[in-house]
Each structure stands twice: as C-alpha cells, then as structure tokens.
Structure 1
Amino acid sequence: MDGPVVRFTHPILASAVYSMASPKQRRAMHRQIASTQLDIEERARHLALAATSRDEETIRALDEAAENASTRGAAAAAADLLELALKLGAHDVSRMIRAAAHHYDAGDPMRARDLLEEAIDKLPPGELRAEALRLLARERIYDDSYQAAAPLLERALADAGTDLLRVQIEIDLSFVLFNLGRLEDALSSSERMVKDAERLADTALIAQALALAASIRFMAGMGLDEPTLKRALALESRVHSGPIALTPSLMASLIWMWSGRLDQADIGLEALHRECLEKGAENDLVFLGFQREALACWRGDLASATQVANDSYERALQLGTELPLAIALSAKAHAAAFRGDVAEARKEAEASFEILQRGTLATVALAPLGTLGFIELSVDDYQAAATRLAPMAAGAIAVGLREPSIVPFAPNAAEALIAVGKLDEATVLVDWLEDHGRRLDRAWALAAGGRCRSLLLAAAGELEASIRCCKLALAQHDRIEMPFERGRTMLVLGRLQRRRGTRREAKTSLEAALDAFTITGTRLWAEKAQRELARLGIRRGKGGELTPSEHRIAQLAANGQTNRQVAAAMLISPKTVEANLARVYQKLDIRSRAELGRRMAEKQLRIPTP
C-alpha cells in the first residue's frame, strides 16, 4: 500500500485483478479514476471506459483530448480517442473523417480507407465530402494507385466550396499528375495552385504549394529556384500532416540530392527521419528509407544503405499494405545490386515490380526496373541491360523530363547500347545527358555523360579523343563525392590506356578503380578491375603490413567514424581516407567496415615502426 493507492509488485498481477472484476465494477473504477486529477487525454479514456452508451460530456471530452493529442503530434493517440467515441455511438461523419486522417498519419491506411468510404457513402455533394475524397485519394497514393487517386481528387475539386480546400486539393492533384508522367498537366496545375495559395493567409499551405511548384519545375529541367525554395522552407510548418512527399523539407532535400548537394541532402533527410520516428509515422519512414538508401549508395556507404533498406522492409511488413512493401523491396534490391548479391537483388526487384505494375505509379515503378538493368550491366550481360534500360530512358525523355539526375539509369542504358553496337540510340542519350548537364551545371551528368561519350569515341576508333574525354569526365567527378561513379570512369580510362599500350598509366587508373570499388563494397565491379589488371599481367597481392597511418585510419573507421570524421581527426582529405581504407581492405582481404570492425576487435594488429 502507498497511502490510499494499491501498487502491485508486477504488472501481471494488476492485469489479473482487472480481468477478474465484473464489467460493472470496471466501469465504476474508471468513473472514479476519471474524477481525479488527470491530464486531458487520460481523463477522456477513463470516461469512455466508464460509459456504456453515448453521452455528450464523454464525447466532448474525447473530441477535446483527440485535438490535444493531434496538436502534440500523437496521431495514433488521437485516432484511438476518436475510435472510442465512435464505439459509443457518436458516428458523425465529420468525426469519422477526422479519425481517418489520424489513422492515415499514424500509419494505418486500411482503417483510414474503411472510415472514409463509409463516410463518403453517407455524404451529399459538398465541402465535407470533398475533404473525405481528398483524404481517400491520399490513402490511394500510398497504398494502391495514383491513377485511382486522380479521379477522386477531380471529384473533390468539383465539390470544394472554400478556397482553402481547393488549394489543398490542387496541391495533391499536381503531385499526382507529375507521378503519372503527365508533366505538362502538372506544370499547368502547379502554376494555378501557387496563384490560389498566395491569395490565402495560410503560410504552411503557401509553403507547400511553393515547394511543390519548385520541385515540378526542377524535374522539368527549369533549374533550381533558390528564392522560391528558401521562402517555402521559411514558411513551412513543423507539424506535418499528410504525405511526407508533400512537405517542403523533403522536397528541398531531394532537390539538393538531385542537384549534387549530397551532404546538405543527407542532413535534411536525417532530420526528417528523426521527426518521423518521434511521431511514429511508419508510412513516411518507409518512403524516407527509399530516398536515404539511394543517397547512401550514391555516397558510397553501402553499409548504411543496407541497414536503411532492411529497416524499411521490416516497417513495411508491419504496415501490411502493398505500396510500402514494394518501395522497401526496391530499396533492398538496389542495395543488394550495389553489393553484388545478384540473386537477392533480382528476387527483390522482381517482387517489387510485380506489386508496382498492378498500379500506375509510373515514376516509382522505374526504380526496380533500373536496378534489374544495373544488375545485367554489372555481370556484363549488355544485351539484357540494353533491352531493359533503353526503353525506360527513351520514355523518361519523351515525357519531358529534363533533369538528368532523376533519370539515373540513362548512363547505364547508354553504356549497354554502346556495348551491343547500337551507337545511334546511345548517342541520343549521351547528347541528352551532356546538353542538360551543361545547361544546368550538373557535375554527375557531365561526369557520367563524359564517360559514355568516351566509350562512343572509342567505339568509333578515336582512341586518343576518348582518353581526353575520359580525363575531362574525371575533372567533373572532383566536384561531387560519388566514389563508385568515379571508379567506373577510372575503369574505362584504364581499359582505354591498356588498348593504347601505356601499361604504367593503365595500371595506375585500374588500381584507382579497384580502390574505389573495394572501399565502396561493390564486389562485381572490383572483380572487373581485377580482371583488367590481370590482362596487364599485374595482380595485386593480399596481406602485408599496415603502415602506421593505415593502422590509425583503420582503427578510427572500425570505431564507427565516417570518412569525413576520420579525415578531420587525421588532418587529411576524405579522398586520402578512402584511398588508405582501400589499401587496408586489400591487405586484410575484407570487403566492408563490418568486417574491418571484427578484424580489429579479434586481434591487436601489429603496428609497424615508422
């Protein structure tokens, strides 16, 4: 006993006593507890558990408690409180719609759909039905199909009476039109959306409209509108509702990623990840995981990419809906393809596409197909890669996409086409990469386009020109930290130098390629570099002592520090860290930081004297 309070020595005892009580006794207990000093949400729960039917005091308390929970960002708690009201008979359609919105935000789209479909069936045309249709469209975006969402939004727009709701619907519709590949319609809709939003005093809505319009223009190749994006971020509300894909912070992070500001993008995505964890926004965490995995691969951090993909997959399984599962499978396949785990990558990419092809998410469905094409390129099946990737790249260009980085499979398609002798088709893609890369000053597009141009020149017999072109591509790689992509260009340069007969230069280039592939853990590409070195009659041996600096760098990396952190500690550049780690991996015959950590923990490596 603790004064008048009975405290049980174990929670199971409390549960047992509660279960043994009669329903009448339980209600009396909840009623008594509700009369004590409790916070608004706990009091409302006890009032609901004490009631057997609808009474206005209890329903009012539940509504107020749900609003309180929503304000503090607890969507699941808000949904539970409104469900208690519904169970007591308070089946007002407005309450059903609010409950659905909270279920959606909490990661339960199936319950949200059930409530919304029931509410829409009961409602006449008008503002409330327009809101229900908009929410149902959002649920379809995350679960089924953008094609299903579009007519729902068009119906909602016809029903909407207020300017505020019309703008909210226009934002969602612009987003859907773009993802259906209807770029011109999306551009037109986004212009109207911004004008309508500017007439309102809702700053959060204006921020969303501005950010989405900037994103659509960016993807259409109109460049990065810094002032608009900056204004959107300044106006953004930190309490997000609806799909995370429509939040200014995410749209800005993706634009930074696609424009080559990888560090800035990483900071933005990690901040959003923390916010979603705090809110318990499981749907959003899966979508974020898809973007974070891709960024980690671009930055050459396959360990992080694999972890993020696996975490997203576990969350998707718990959600139990198809689209999050397809997105998570796509991320897992992408990471596995980079690691060189061919069977796993193929299985998961095919499973992802099988789900996505049942819907109409044109942009998302390209990801697993792009991964399948990359696998074929990695195993030197150029015909299969060209068959898979060339139509995708041509289609992306045909719908009006003019931002190279959102068509990341275009260089892979060009390389495969060159390998199978389809030089005219490849030239179209290479011209597109280089033209828009120059116009928008995109380092990745200029580097990858330059590599492909080098391959085209070599195929035409212009060996010296191809080598010069490859070296120019490497200058573009210096502007962006994408070690795997740099390794690919070094591999091409080494092959060309071998053909020219400059073996010493070829050896240097191929060893640099091997270092890049080793440090990033891209096994199949490391094997390509090793085969090229073998053709020179040069084999890099394993083993050997670590130098003092290699040992220090290996120890810091094994302790979990990033390349940048190691570089700061050692007063060297991140590129020097990468090169040293590549040599460490080679000497220790390992492929990943996880293996490095185990090796450093298993035994104290002998530190040679300087």
Structure 2
Amino acid sequence: MTEAATPLIGRDGDLAELERRLSQAGEGRAHVVVVSGPAGVGRTALVERLADRHGGPVLRATGMPWEARNDYGVLAQLMPALDVAGDPVEVAARFTAGLATSEDTTLAVVDDAHLADRRSLQVLASAVRHHPQARLLVMATAVTDDPTLPADVLDLLPRIATAEITLAPLSAPEVSRLAAARGVFLHPSMAESLWRHTHGRPRPVVQLLAEVPHSTWARFDPTLPAPAAVAARVRERLSRCSPAARALAEAAAVLGPGTAARDVARLAGIEGDLLSVLDEAYTTGLVEFAPRGLTEVAPRDSMVRAAVLAAMGPAAAAAAHRRAADLMDDPARRLRLLVAASPVPDPAVADQLDTLAAEHAAVGAWGTAASLLHDSSRLTDDRLQRESRLTRAVDASIGAGDVFAAAALVPEVESLRETPLRNAVLGYLAIVRGRAVEAESRLGRAWALVNAERDPDVAAQICQRYVLHALMRGRGEELVTWADRAVALAGPEAPAAVEAAAIRGLGLAGTGRARQAMADYADLGERVRRGAQAQRVVMARGWLNLTVDAIDDARADLASAVPTTFLGGSTRISLWARAWLARAQFLAGEWDEAVRTVREANPLLERSGIVLAAPLLHWTAVAVHALRGEWEAADEALRRCDAGPQDYELMRVASYLAHAHLAEARADSSGVLRALHPLTQPWAGGSIDEPGHWPWHDMYAHALVVEGRYAEAGTFLRRHERLAADRGCASAVARLAAARGRLLGAQGDLAGSTTAFEQALETLETLPLRYDRARVNFAYGQTLRRAGKRRRADTVISTAREIFASLGATTYVARCDRELKAGGMHAARSGREAGELTPQEEAVAELVARGLSNREVAAELFLATKTVQYHLTRVYAKLGVRSRAELAARRSSSGSPAPSTRQEIG
C-alpha cells in the first residue's frame, strides 16, 4: 500500500518532531534519536514513514537476539565494508568519513536497538558527539516493557540519545480510525473493547483486524482472541516453563486480573515455594504483579490471557474455570467463572445470572445487568425464556447508555416473536436515538399488546418509556399521567417506578407546578439516597432548579449527577447532567467551565450513541463561542448541534436556540426571527413556553423590535409577561421587561422604557445571571442613546462593557465600543474640521465598509434604516466617494480594519 493509503494514525506530532530533527541534521547538527515504547506500539512504522519521506541515503540495521553479543554486528549491517579495528572513537571517525559526501543527510535506522550490540551503539554515539557537523541522523527504536531484555543496553540507549520520543498507545477513537483505514468500521463500544484488549497498540490491532472474521466486529461483546503471533509466542514460552510455572500462568489466565496471589496458587495447586514459581512465570512474560506488590497476580495483558486459555484447550479451560468457581466467595465472580466453563446451556447457572441481574437492575446498575442477562440468555435452553432474557439484556444496555451495543443485538431481537417487552425495548432504543415517530409506533404497539393485570412489571416498563418519550416531546401532562401509571402498576420501589418518579417532577414543572415538583423531589431524595437511581433523582432536581432560578443549587446537583462510576450509573443521565450543567455555568458567567463541560462530554456522547443530548450540549457551546467571536468553533458546534435526526421537540428547541444565539451575536435580527419562528407555531406550546425552561421569548421580542415589527412585539410580549408573572419566574420577568423597555423606547415612550429597564436590572440584582445583566444594560444603553440621552447611555453601556469583557464576550465588547463611539461622549467636542465625520457617521461608515447592508447597520446600531441612509449620504459627501465599494477601499487603504465577511463583525 502507498503512504497515502496507509495513514499513520495518532502520530502526526511525533512524525513532525522527527522531521524537525532530520532538518537539524541537514544543517550540520547530528542527532541520535531513540524512539521507545511498549512492543507493538508502532515504533518501526513511525521510523519507516520518516525514511519513506527522506530523499537522501538511508542505512538500515536490525538488532537480533543471537547477535546481541557480536561486537559491531549492527554496524556491519549499516556499513558492511567498514574497518572496525580500534576503539569506538576511531571507528566512529571512519564511519562518518564513509557517509555520502554530497549535501544529502544520511538517515541511519537501527530497529530493535534494545537487541543491538553495545559496540555498535557506542560507535554511533561517538560519531554524533565527536562529529556533530556530520549530516547524520541516527534513529534507534527500542522496546521498554520486556522484563527479559538486557539491562546494559537498556541503560545505554538513553545515555547516548540526544533526543527521546516515547510513543503512547492509541486512544479508542484512534483505534476506530485505524480500523476504518483498513476497511473495518467499528461501533464505539466495539472500538473500546478492541482498544482495551490490545492496550491501544497498533500492531496487534492491525493483526486482529486481518485475522478475525468481519462478522465478529458487529457483534455484542465478543470474546477477542490473541493475534496469531502473540499466541505462538505464548505457546513457545509455556513450553519452556516448569510444570508449576505453567500451572501458575494458566491459573492466572483463568482467574483474570485483580486476583490475590494465594487464590492463583490454590487453583494452580502450588503448596511449596510460591515465590520461585512466581519469579519464573514473571520472567517469561506470562504474568505480572499488581502495583501494590506480590499480593496480586494477573496475566501480562488480555492478549496473553486469551493465548494461554487457547493453549489450554476448551476441555482443560472449562474444568479450570469450574474449579476456580468453587474457590470464590463473591457470587458474581463465581457466576462469571461458571459462564466461562459452560459451552452449552446450563439452566441452573442461567437462573442464577438472571437473579443477580435483577438485583443490579433494582439499583439502576444497568451495565452490569446487561452483561449478566446476555450471559443468562446464552445459557438458557427454553426458547421463550431465552428470548425474554436477550430482550431484557438489550433494554439494560440502553439503560446503561451503550446504544451501540444494544443496536448490535437489534437484528437478533427483531427476529424474535412479537411481545410487549420486545416492542417496549425497541421503542426505548428509538427514543435514545432521537427517532420520535418510530418510538411512538413501537410503544403504542407494546401498550396495545400488554395485559397489565397479568404482567404489571412489563406494563410499568412501557409506562416508564412513555414518560421519557413525553419528556422529549415537551408534553408535561402526558408525562405525569404515564409516571403515575408506572408507579401504580409496579409499586413505588420498583426500578421502573423510581425512574418514572425521577422524571415526573419535570412534567409537573412543565405544566406550571414547579413548587409541587420541588416538594416531590425532596421526598424522593429521602427515599432514594444511593446508587444509580439516586443519580437520576439528583439530575432531574438539578434540571428543575435551573428552571426556577436556583442556579447555585442546580450546579451542585448537576455536577454530582455527572459521574457514572457508582453502581454502573447511567450514561444517558450523565449526559443530561453535563448538558444542563454547561447551561447553568453559562448563565452564571462561568464560560470557560461551560466549554470544558461540553468538551469533556463529547467522547461520552460519541461512544454511547445517545443522540438525544447532543443539541442541548452544543447549544451552550455555540452561544459561548459566538459571543467570544470564535466563529469557526461556533460553526463547528452548530454543525454538531444539527447532526443526526431531530424528531423530538426538545432536540429541535435546543437547535433553534443555538441558531438564534449565533444570529444575535452577528447582529442579524432577521436571522434570530427565522431561527425562532418554529417555536411560535402550534406544535411548540407546553413546557417550551414555560418561563424559565427555554429562554427564547425575549430574544424573539428584541428581534421583532429591531426589525420594526412593534405591534407584533407588543402582542407577543403581553402573553408571555403574564405567564412569567403568574409563575413567579424572576429571570423570565427580567428578560421580558428588558424587551418591553426596548419596545417602548422604539415607540418614543422613554419614561416607560426607563421604568421597564430599571425593573429588569433590579430583578436581576438578586440572581447570579451575569450575561443577562450585561445584555439588559446593553439594550438599555442603546435605547437611551437613540433617545438622545448620551451621558446616561454612556454610563449604562460602559457597565455592560465591563461585564462582557469579564466574560470574554469580545463580540459584544466591540459592539459596546462602537456604541460609545457613536454616542460621542468620549470624542472631542471642539476643533472638528469641516468635512470631518461625526461619531455617528464614523460608526456607520465603519460598518458599511465591513460589508453590512443598511438594514444590518441599523440593527447593529439600533437606528432606523432611513437614519442610516441619511448618515451614509453625508459620509459619501464628506469623503468624496460614490459607492460602498469605494468607501471600503478608502478605509482599507487608510488602515481601518475592514473584515470581508459578516462573521467577523463584532
């Protein structure tokens, strides 16, 4: 394959560093660069890529175990005719003299330098140190993780190196990219399994991609083998072991990582000198010790473990797993060992797995439950029971947030007979994948088929899925109804009932009953204090706190609901918590933290396949980047926000708001109206209109005023002002009051406008909403300036500018500066020469030269379009230009900044 066809994944920085060293060598600064890392990490591939790109001479040598004690063996490979008589310094002089005499740089590659002879390495080191002007780069690759390697060479290599590059393993996404480059497309959970199995080392990844059947990569949680080369090496090492050391290695492979040394010894039947047996097994590279010392023994890695088990053979491995199960006190671990020992159905073990899965499901530990149920289904002989357990395994995978693993089992589940549970599970999967129409159909079919009296647990499960479905559709009344049904059918302590109750409060809040919701969450929080179910309650309570302006409480709740480490907490809930946490941080002015929260959530979002949370997460990122003038980052976040299906109302609302934020930051009021117009349609309603839930109403009203649609703005505001007052939502009251102030100011009622703005600012004094305070001050200042109250406008806009500057909102800082300049309070009021532009004319000229239309300039400066035209006519006359193009050229030649696109407008 050509270089272009075999991308070097994850090594761009390392390759750039090697090319830099090669360039220095070409300038007469010789180097010995040691590229090290664990076996299979891609050392040779990296160095060979550099050699392929190098246009000059390349000398090659490879260290061999049988030549390690052969003086000058590597040097003879590099330069066969070299006279090696004398000490290393003399040989080094002859070596450099024998290099190409042209201007080309010589690249000397010593692969597997940890197996090279010391004399050759000494000569190469002397060549570089005694002849630094030589155009020579020595590239030596070395393995660092093999306990059998000679210590003298490993000690010598870093001492002779002038630079070292230590290669890190690939990440799971990079493993996925490597697979894709070789025509194998892995879902994220499979890529993560392959990454864990290979420790992210490219060589075994590539070997397994070539050796394992393609169908394996689409399966749920397959058992991956060792690459053939690893298996052969392990068989050879096992054959050299004493019987005791081999038994120890086999016992470690059966029991797996994290096993006490005494348990490994018991399974291996070792009663005598355990330390000497451990020492032998360790030096062969078959086992390793835990970081705490000799108390725990484990296989060297998962590939070695797979190779040892394969070498044992199926019968011996199964027998060893059964013996190991008898030694275990932990029931879960005992069952895992029995599963590994059961190649055929085993009803007794299957029933035990089912019972244990139910225990984990009861506390919301869905990831563990999914794995147990999948094993249980495999060991179940009865067809109906096997199908039920497989279906429940898919449901548990979705609950854990592993949508890709669940989707891998969908073809198998869809082939099963139709049952209410089957439809409910497929409906659940459709929900988390953002497919509302499919979810509605699947859940409707499940509810039509279920007999609630005979199977109340399945009926309650369907109800709980409907609760989530109603939440995503913004239908609060439906949500509460389905939640109450779930609790009535299953009882308040059942997992489905607890999950439904955790969301029920959001339905209450979405129908104006926030106080009742808060009281209910207080009671539920007392009942559900631990485990993954508590994560659901805390997340929902944090979401509710955000809607009622309890920003500090929201941040505390949402931050505590982010981890998924306790009892297999839900990835879906963690993503929701991160999305709303980012929103709380944005509102509180913690914008760096908000962007960090979104960035840290992205890998989890991509790995899980849960598209529901994507628009909500990226909405906040769009807002921050746009307000900071980071237009490329804002556009990228908007692309992520819009990616994938958006059947659900809550996904669409977040996307609409992201578009509106970007338009408002660009002073594009018509763009704001276009983005938010769908929210004014009949489908929207419900919680989407509830004050405090989705802050879009004031944005829409401001844009209506700027566009001169005063009557529409008045009608729109009246309805939402009444609702905000009825609900007692202070943030919504303040935001709408500011929009009212802008409307009254545009209509010439300065007294009424001032009252409205002052009410907004007074309300915001009690809330930690820094961005809102800046935004209200800015609109207030614009209104005052338009009314001719320049001194007051200057004070108010300066306040806005200070807050925007503290937030890093460069877009609005620049806008404030233009407002202050247009107001003229900071400009000299005397000595203006005839023909000199006024501050207002200067502001208009600057924006027109930047490429804005008259309408856009009017929106930016909060002026009438006719006023902009008037000022522009005077600018043309004073400057002696006849067109916008001439004005832009004139100002560009005079050094005034004139970005060429709308995106650059602050």
Please say whether Structure 1 and Structure 2 have the same fold, judged by a TM-score greater than 0.5: yes
- Deviation per CA, 1:138-197, whole angstroms, max 9, x where unpaired? 22110131221122222222222235443443343244245335x4xx525734753773
Residue identity matched to 2:553? Q
Choose the corresponding residue for 1:352, options 633, 641, 666. 641
Task: Kindly indicate whether the alpha-carbon contact (under 8 Å) linking 2:346 and 2:380 is maintained by their aligned counterparts in 1.
Answer: no
Cross-structure match for 2:472 = 179
Cross-structure match for 1:144 = 434
Q: Secondary structure at the match of 2:667?
A: coil
Task: Kindly indicate whether the alpha-carbon contact (under 8 Å) linking 1:338 and 1:522 is maintained by their aligned counterparts in 2.
Answer: yes
Q: How does 1:279-290 map to 2 (within 5 A)?
A: 279=568, 281-290=570-579
Task: Kindly indicate whether the alpha-carbon contact (under 8 Å) linking 2:364 and 2:569 is maintained by their aligned counterparts in 1.
Answer: no
2:635 counterpart of 1:341: no
Task: Kindly indicate whether the alpha-carbon contact (under 8 Å) linking 1:293 and 1:335 is maintained by their aligned counterparts in 2.
Answer: no
Cross-structure match for 1:387 = 674
How far the C-alpha of 1:506 sits from its partner, in A, is 2.8
Q: Secondary structure at the match of 1:428?
A: helix
Cross-structure match for 1:367 = 654
Cross-structure match for 1:83 = 374
In the aligned structure 2, how far is the partner of 1:316 from the partner of 1:171?
Answer: 23
How far the C-alpha of 1:74 sits from its partner, in A, is 4.4
Cross-structure match for 1:509 = 796
Cross-structure match for 1:29 = 320
In the aligned structure 2, how far is the partner of 1:363 from the partner of 1:189?
Answer: 14
Choose the corresponding residue for 1:466, options 750, 753, 759. 753
2:380 counterpart of 1:103: no
Q: How does 1:456-535 map to 2 (within 5 A)?
A: 456-535=743-822
* Shift in CA distance, 278/211, structure 1 to aligned 2, threshold 3 Å: closer
How far the C-alpha of 1:274 sits from its partner, in A, is 3.1
In the aligned structure 1, how far is the partner of 2:340 from the partner of 2:687?
Answer: 57
How far the C-alpha of 1:60 sits from its partner, in A, is 3.9
Cross-structure match for 1:231 = 523
Q: How does 1:240-251 map to 2 (within 5 A)?
A: 240=532, 247-251=536-540
* Shift in CA distance, 343/189, structure 1 to aligned 2, threshold 3 Å: closer
Cross-structure match for 1:161 = 451
Task: Kindly indicate whether the alpha-carbon contact (under 8 Å) linking 2:460 and 2:485 is maintained by their aligned counterparts in 1.
Answer: no
Q: How does 1:201-220 map to 2 (within 5 A)?
A: 201-203=491-493, 212-220=503-511
Q: How many equivalent pairs are there?
A: 528
> What's the RMSD between the two structures over aligned residues?
3.2
In the aligned structure 2, how far is the partner of 1:171 from the partner of 1:71?
Answer: 14
2:351 counterpart of 1:63: no
Q: Secondary structure at the match of 2:511?
A: helix
In the aligned structure 2, how far is the partner of 1:64 from the partner of 1:73?
Answer: 14
In the aligned structure 1, how far is the partner of 2:657 from the partner of 2:327?
Answer: 60
* Shift in CA distance, 146/53, structure 1 to aligned 2, threshold 3 Å: same
How far the C-alpha of 1:266 sits from its partner, in A, is 1.5
Cross-structure match for 1:54 = 345
Cross-structure match for 1:291 = 580
How far the C-alpha of 1:351 sits from its partner, in A, is 4.0
Task: Kindly indicate whether the alpha-carbon contact (under 8 Å) linking 1:286 and 1:313 is maintained by their aligned counterparts in 2.
Answer: no
Task: Kindly indicate whether the alpha-carbon contact (under 8 Å) linking 1:483 and 1:516 is maintained by their aligned counterparts in 2.
Answer: yes
Q: How does 1:399-414 map to 2 (within 5 A)?
A: 401-414=688-701
In the aligned structure 2, how far is the partner of 1:148 from the partner of 1:539?
Answer: 61
Choose the corresponding residue for 2:602, options 281, 298, 313. 313
* Shift in CA distance, 322/488, structure 1 to aligned 2, threshold 3 Å: closer
In the aligned structure 1, how far is the partner of 2:729 from the partner of 2:511?
Answer: 14
Cross-structure match for 1:170 = 463
- Deviation per CA, 1:305-346, whole angstroms, max 9, x where unpaired? 101111111112222454455554445334433433223223
Cross-structure match for 1:550 = none
In the aligned structure 1, how far is the partner of 2:408 from the partner of 2:420?
Answer: 17
Residue identity matched to 2:558? L
How far the C-alpha of 1:502 sits from its partner, in A, is 4.4
Task: Kindly indicate whether the alpha-carbon contact (under 8 Å) linking 2:619 and 2:641 is maintained by their aligned counterparts in 1.
Answer: yes
How far the C-alpha of 1:520 sits from its partner, in A, is 1.9
If the length of structure 2 is used for normalisation, what is the TM-score?
0.53
Choose the corresponding residue for 1:12, options 300, 312, 331. 300
Computing the radius of gyration over CA atoms, which structure comes out larger, 1 or 2? 2
If the length of structure 1 is used for normalisation, what is the TM-score?
0.77
Choose the corresponding residue for 2:563, options 230, 254, 274. 274
The structure richer in strand per residue is 2
In the aligned structure 2, how far is the partner of 1:213 from the partner of 1:47?
Answer: 41
In the aligned structure 1, how far is the partner of 2:390 from the partner of 2:529?
Answer: 25
- Deviation per CA, 1:75-121, whole angstroms, max 9, x where unpaired? 33333333334444656122212322322223222433454664465
* Shift in CA distance, 223/75, structure 1 to aligned 2, threshold 3 Å: closer
* Shift in CA distance, 435/168, structure 1 to aligned 2, threshold 3 Å: same
In the aligned structure 2, how far is the partner of 1:236 from the partner of 1:86?
Answer: 30
Task: Kindly indicate whether the alpha-carbon contact (under 8 Å) linking 1:41 and 1:66 is maintained by their aligned counterparts in 2.
Answer: no
* Shift in CA distance, 370/85, structure 1 to aligned 2, threshold 3 Å: same
Q: Secondary structure at the match of 1:406?
A: coil
In the aligned structure 2, how far is the partner of 1:300 from the partner of 1:224?
Answer: 26
Q: Secondary structure at the match of 1:481?
A: coil
Residue identity matched to 1:231? D
Task: Kindly indicate whether the alpha-carbon contact (under 8 Å) linking 2:498 and 2:533 is maintained by their aligned counterparts in 1.
Answer: no
In the aligned structure 1, how far is the partner of 2:607 from the partner of 2:471?
Answer: 29
The structure richer in helix per residue is 1
Task: Kindly indicate whether the alpha-carbon contact (under 8 Å) linking 2:562 and 2:575 is maintained by their aligned counterparts in 1.
Answer: no
In the aligned structure 1, how far is the partner of 2:499 from the partner of 2:345?
Answer: 39
Q: How does 1:510-589 map to 2 (within 5 A)?
A: 510-537=797-824
Q: Secondary structure at the match of 1:52?
A: coil
- Deviation per CA, 1:222-265, whole angstroms, max 9, x where unpaired? 553244443344444744569x8xx4433332222111111111
* Shift in CA distance, 209/18, structure 1 to aligned 2, threshold 3 Å: closer
* Shift in CA distance, 497/424, structure 1 to aligned 2, threshold 3 Å: closer
- Deviation per CA, 1:17-73, whole angstroms, max 9, x where unpaired? 445433333333323322323422222222222232123344344334544554675
Q: Which 10-residue stretch deviates more, 401-410 or 391-400? A: 391-400
Q: Secondary structure at the match of 2:510?
A: helix
Any unmatched runs of 5+ in structure 1?
A: 541-610
- Deviation per CA, 1:468-499, whole angstroms, max 9, x where unpaired? 22111101111211100000111122223334
Residue identity matched to 2:331? I
Cross-structure match for 1:424 = 711
In the aligned structure 1, how far is the partner of 2:573 from the partner of 2:370?
Answer: 17
* Shift in CA distance, 130/234, structure 1 to aligned 2, threshold 3 Å: farther
In the aligned structure 1, how far is the partner of 2:502 from the partner of 2:714?
Answer: 34
Q: Secondary structure at the match of 1:426?
A: helix
Q: Secondary structure at the match of 2:549?
A: coil
How far the C-alpha of 1:437 sits from its partner, in A, is 1.6
Q: Secondary structure at the match of 1:111?
A: helix
Q: Which 10-residue stretch deviates more, 59-68 or 450-459? A: 59-68
Q: Which 10-residue stretch deviates more, 260-269 or 41-50? A: 41-50
* Shift in CA distance, 277/365, structure 1 to aligned 2, threshold 3 Å: farther
Q: Secondary structure at the match of 1:279?
A: coil
How far the C-alpha of 1:221 sits from its partner, in A, is 3.2
Task: Kindly indicate whether the alpha-carbon contact (under 8 Å) linking 2:628 and 2:808 is maintained by their aligned counterparts in 1.
Answer: yes
* Shift in CA distance, 67/105, structure 1 to aligned 2, threshold 3 Å: same
Choose the corresponding residue for 1:257, options 534, 546, 562. 546
Choose the corresponding residue for 1:302, options 588, 591, 612. 591
